[in-house]
Amino acid sequence: MPVRKIEKSYTSLTGVVVSRKNGGSIRFESSLERDLAYLLEFDYTVMSYELQPITIEYLNDNGEKRKYTPDFLVYYNNDLKISKSLKPRLCEVKYRDDLKAKWPLLKPKFKAAIDFAKRKGWDFKIYTEKEIRNDFMLNARFLQSYIRASYDLNHSILLRKTLETLECSTPEELIGACSNDKYVRAQLLHTLWSLVSNGIIGIDLHERIGMDSEIWTNQ
């Protein structure tokens, strides 16, 4: 649970992201926080994450007590070879222009976060739009709406069995192999993206996904 309550804002974007990894939803207070949550939801090396998990006390340059709450704490799946050595990570989300404009005020906060993380055996990282807004994020944002979408179970079985026969395909080829009816094809496409969003059918999220993307079955 966030240590700082996120209030409704009329100057920045606030809302919720459906989260499978946290068993509910994640509230965000900027579009950049939302977009990082999309990334974390679809990054298979991420086991879980928390929003505004802790508050760190520190002294500013004048020796005055201050408090700082990082935006995220990310836990990685250490059972996977690719993320076996990754430590939990405290994350700050900031636009690059804000970092430059407010750096003198932000620097003591970030130093305190680095020191705190080191004592805990964690890492600390600043994420800007450069690290967040990429093809992976755009794919994750598209698939996010399908995470809890209902779909026809018979269509799911048909798609999976047909894809197993083809071994490797594209959405356009797979849908075409399943039906010639345009209304059924529309329903099948909805089901297909639902299966992709839940990891049942695989796709490369690092490339912009579309009807010609390569897809395969995930066992």
- State the Cα–Cα distance between residues 126 and 201, nearest whole angstrom: 32
Name the domain boundary from 104, 122, 140: 140
Residue 64 included in any domain: yes
- What's the pLDDT score for residue 7? 46
3-state secondary structure of 85: coil
Last residue of a domain, one of 111, 140, 169: 140
Q: Is residue 193 part of a domain?
A: yes
Q: Is residue 5 part of a domain?
A: no
Instruction: Print the domain residue range for 71.
Output: 15-140
Tell me: do 115 and 198 sit in the same domain: no
Same domain, 58 and 135: yes
Q: What angle, rounded to 10 degrees, do the helices at 153-166 and 171-178 form? A: 110
161 and 190 share one domain:
yes
Q: What is the pLDDT of residue 62?
A: 86
- Rounded Cα distance between 63 and 212, Å, is 59
The answer as to whether 85 is a domain residue is yes
Total count of domains within the chain? 2
Of 110, 140, 170, the position where a domain reaches its end is: 140
Residue 82 CA to its chain's centroid (Å)? 18
What is the pLDDT at residue 12?
65
Residue 37 counted as domain residue: yes
Same domain assignment for residues 163 and 128: no
Three-state secondary-structure class, residue 170: coil
Bridge partners (DSSP) listed for residue 76: 46
Chunk the chain into consecutive blocks of 10 residues (it has 219) and report each block's average pLDDT, rounded to whole numbers: 47 80 86 96 95 93 92 96 96 97 95 97 98 97 94 97 96 98 98 96 97 92
Does residue 84 belong to any structural domain of this protein?
Answer: yes
pTM to 2 decimal places: 0.86
